[in-house]
């Protein structure tokens, strides 16, 4: 598995300026995306997962704005078995509708959006929409673009690809649409790609993503609420809360040794087979995270999770914002509980 870095997000702040106030949707996020690896992003709705992805694509909707930070894309221009040459592109310095950004978006960096039913235009055929992207990014004519569109659909294991290319999105199931949206970019952002799909179709899509990743050494940024899928798909995991990454490490460590109280609470809320067997015949509710996500317009002093934290420390958690602490190599957490155990601390 490669350690080649394809994209780096540093100190990203993406804000929305509304009449009710400022929503700090992404508030100081650092992430690294590597070739051939899957980075899982988890957290409750509204924690900033999708806005982080849209920032990487320069697709933040108005009145949102990237206020601060850097997004660097290392575009591979020549690669051999032993080395590769990259063109360094500062995405945050490109205008969303610039020629340079349009050349990257949908080509080297692609996104499978959360809602497959609305992600494709209903009045144009599936093939026409795929061909448009091919002709935009590659020097081919309409006939060649059609052949490549059929090949993409066939690679996505859609039956009768030569027929599906002429169908409309409403004629396909949700799972078929999700697969039609997949291609072979350097970085694939998958935003809840299996939402509203049955488990059989979900498994097929996950298998397809892994197959494409192996074939093209593609990096995947996988956004989901489903920690079971993260355990199966990801090598690294970032847990987000209120626009910040509160914990990040490899997938084995996040399940074996979760550090942040929020991560621990997320894992406790998952049904466990042993618990189900032990509670057979007993009426007992699943454990939930107490309280509510704070008002997005408010800026809480200290740790943003402190009103819901079972390990809350008065005078510390509600007053001092925690630094990013590396508790062990490759395992960082944003929590006051580990200040004395840190090998490296990074101020905000």
Tens of pLDDT, residue by residue over 132-154, are 877 877 778 888 888 888 887 78
Burial class (CB within 10 angstroms; exposed 0-12, middle 13-18, buried 19+) of 48: buried
Complete edge-to-edge strand list for the sheet that includes strand 324-328: 109-112, 187-191, 219-224, 38-42, 236-241, 244-250, 331-333, 324-328, 344-346
Neighbours of 86 (CB within 10 A): 15
pLDDT of residue 80: 59
pLDDT higher than threshold 50 for residue 277: no
Pairing of strands 219-224, 187-191: parallel
The secondary element (H helix, E strand) that includes residue 179 is helix 174-181
**HSE-CB for 160 with a 13 A CA cutoff:** 5
**HSE-CB for 344 with a 13 A CA cutoff:** 7
**Residue 320 pLDDT class (50, 70, 90 cuts):** very high
Q: How big is the chain, counted in residues?
A: 348
Q: What letters, b where the CB count within 10 A reaches 16 and e where it falls short, cover 3-34?
A: ebebbbbeebbbbbeeeeeebbbbbbbbbbbb
pLDDT higher than threshold 70 for residue 272: no
What separation, in Å, do the N-terminal and C-terminal C-alpha atoms of the chain show? 32
Comparing 9-18, 70-79, 235-244, the range with the smallest average pLDDT is 70-79
Is the distance from CB of 310 to CB of 326 less than 8 angstroms? Answer: no
Helix, strand, or coil (residue 186): coil
- Distance of alpha carbon 109 from the chain centroid: 12
């Amino acid at each position: 598995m490669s350690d080649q870095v394809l994209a780096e997000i540093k100190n990203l702040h993406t804000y929305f300026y509304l009449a009710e106030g400022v929503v700090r949707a992404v508030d100081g996020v650092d992430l690294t995306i590597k070739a051939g690896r899957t980075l899982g992003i988890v957290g409750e709705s509204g924690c900033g997962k999708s806005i982080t992805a849209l920032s990487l694509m320069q697709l933040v909707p108005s009145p949102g704005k990237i206020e601060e930070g850097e997004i660097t894309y290392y575009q591979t221009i020549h690669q051999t078995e032993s080395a590769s040459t990259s063109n360094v592109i500062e995405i945050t310095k490109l205008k969303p509708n610039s020629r340079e950004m349009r050349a990257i978006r949908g080509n080297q960096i692609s996104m499978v959006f959360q809602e497959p039913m609305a992600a494709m235009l209903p009045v144009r055929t599936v093939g026409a929409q795929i061909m448009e992207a091919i002709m935009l990014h590659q020097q081919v004519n309409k006939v060649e673009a059609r052949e490549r569109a059929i090949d993409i659909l066939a690679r996505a294991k859609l039956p009768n690809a030569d027929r599906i290319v002429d169908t409309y999105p409403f004629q396909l199931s949700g799972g078929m649409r999700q697969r039609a949206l997949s291609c072979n970019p350097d970085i694939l952002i998958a935003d809840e790609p299996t939402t509203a799909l049955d488990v059989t179709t979900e498994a097929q899509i996950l298998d397809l993503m892994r197959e494409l990743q192996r074939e093209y050494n593609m990096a995947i940024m996988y956004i989901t609420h489903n920690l079971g899928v993260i355990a199966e798909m990801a090598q690294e995991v970032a847990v987000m809360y209120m626009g910040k990454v509160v914990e990040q490490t490899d997938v084995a460590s996040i399940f074996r040794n979760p550090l942040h109280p929020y991560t621990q609470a997320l894992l406790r809320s998952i049904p466990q087979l042993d618990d189900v067997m032990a509670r057979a015949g007993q009426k007992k509710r699943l454990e939930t995270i107490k309280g509510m996500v704070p008002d997005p317009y408010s800026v809480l002093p200290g740790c943003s999770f402190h009103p819901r934290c079972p390990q809350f420390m008065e005078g510390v958690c509600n007053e001092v914002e925690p630094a990013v602490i590396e508790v062990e190599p490759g395992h960082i957490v944003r929590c006051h509980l580990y200040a004395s155990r840190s090998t490296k601390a990074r101020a905000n």
